A and B are shown apart, each in its own frame.
Chain A
Amino acid sequence: MRDKMKLKIGVHGLTSCYGCQLKMASIKELLEVVERFDIEYWYMASSKGEIKHVDVAFVEGSVSTAEDEKELKKIRENADILVAIGSCAIHGGVQGMLIGEEYKEIFEEIYGKYEMDFEGRIGEPIKNYVDVDYFLPGCPPEEEEVVYYLACFALGSYPEEKDYPVCSECRRNGYPCILIEKGEMCLGPLTVAGCNARCPSHNVACIGCRGPLPYNIAWFDSLAKTFKEKGFSKEDVRKRMEIFGKQYEKMDEMIEKVFEDEGGETDQE
């Protein structure tokens, strides 16, 4: 029959708000998780602090320091399965918004002339450094998805990742479409589903916190065109889309294409 051996898991946080770990620590089924899994490493939940071999390692946060990189590589070496959890780990997150010259300016503004014992880097998704097996999106992830991922691993399988947008869940719930009705920049069509359209349910436009869809099915260009037709400028659209999508390599190019005929005007603002 089924293997009764407990699965060993580790939960790790790189540079982040630790919200994903907090979410994991506050799920209803936590007691069952503790019973069913051997938690080898979880800084937030225990004082144990040594990275040991685990079956599944969950990593939240982006790589923003050399320390992060070192830790991440060690986690990878010691994990059979590595799951990137949350928007920072998957897409670089909000801190991943700052790249290039902008980053230096902001870094100086915040840390000024103080001596730091680390060197700051641009926040990058962990897949830029190590192989990632599965992605558990969210900011933070939804409780039922955390449970689903854990349960699938425990069964000796793996989770089915969603590759459809938040709109699908919004329509299944019958919420009014904010994009059509209010003409606001709702990122539902771009954003990976799983939150059950949480923001639209409160009549708030989706900000894209779960990150863009994978596999080149995030149509920044088509959505930018729709926003443009609703009267938004290139800068409006870019600012909205880059909160969680900045490091999506094609985003700029796709937005640029839509606004190219009037590019000159918006650049002069």
Chain B
Amino acid sequence: MDNVYALYKCRVLRTYELTDDVRLFLFRFENPEIAESWTFVPGQFVQLSIAGMGEVPISICSSPMRRGFFELCIKKAGRVTSKIFELKPGDIVGVRGPYGNGFPVDKFEGNDLLLIAAGIGMAPLRSVFTYALDNRWKFGNITVINSARFGKKLLFKKELEAMRDVAEAENIRIIQTVTRDPDWPGWVGRAQEHIRHANTKPEKSYVCVCGPPQIYTDVFNKLIEHGYDPRKIYVTLERRMKCGVGKCGHCIAGSSTFLKYICIDGPVFGYYDIISTPGLI
């Protein structure tokens, strides 16, 4: 029997500063066979291990179309992430996964796609976005709303900005908005205030939302007000996880009638799961 907690060795290939406390890391599997066969669904996560420090769950933020490589977006927040933050190209880490259900991207095909991110929430949605770009013909119009408090805190700001004009021609709309930055030249206001600017047709759109727990209610209300179908709204949640495989119990959330493991039943949940389960967000 294989050990589900065993780790694959991965090498850091490149690091890239996204904001003052968030960095993007590109990894490659050391074992060519694993590199060849390892794949994932956007929205899934991996357990990243630093020897002697511990493990943390991190959402994958790249497209699964690029075999053997994957990108992780690390926010310097805790003991282990601070250590990951210091990694240099060439360093080795341990990785296991992918875990979780991921977004039902197959269902999304043939529809418009609205991605709403706040803060670090852009990380898992970038995986959906890049996946959609790699499979552009499968999707209709696409809008990405990327929001943060300040311009300098917007994740993937440059990457999204660089493709804005070209994207418009391909029916991809990019809205980068900030709430508390008077110097920001672009859009201002919360993510949900820009739903009306999306190029997606509410009746044939799937929506993915990710951000801090307190934004969900407002975003949901706005989406429904604009006519988006609640059955087609998905969010991805975060919890403390130690195992990632439904054993350690840390990510158990929900109520006595709907108890879920975020790691194996989630992290992606539908709108109706969220509203019928008080403990989930």
Contacts and interface: CB of A to CB of B under 8 A. Distances in A.
B79 A155 contact: no
Interface residues of B, number: 6
Interface of A is mostly: loop
A160 B52 CA distance: 12
Nearest to B80: A157
B83 interface: yes
B105 interface: no
Contacts of B31: none
A157 B82 CA distance: 8
A156 interface: yes
B34 interface: no
Contact of A160 (B79, B82, B83, B86): B79
B79 A158 contact: yes
Contacts of B53: 155, 157
A155 B82 CA distance: 12
Contacts of A158: 79
Interface string A146-157: 000000000111
B278 to A, nearest CB: 23
Nearest to B91: A1
B79 A156 contact: no
A160 B86 CA distance: 19
7 tightest A-B CB contacts, nearest first: A155-B52, A157-B83, A157-B53, A157-B79, A160-B79, A158-B79, A155-B53
Interface of A: 155-158, 160
10 contacts: A155-B52, A155-B53, A156-B83, A156-B86, A157-B53, A157-B79, A157-B82, A157-B83, A158-B79, A160-B79
Given A155-B53, A156-B83, 8 more contacts: A155-B52, A156-B86, A157-B53, A157-B79, A157-B82, A157-B83, A158-B79, A160-B79
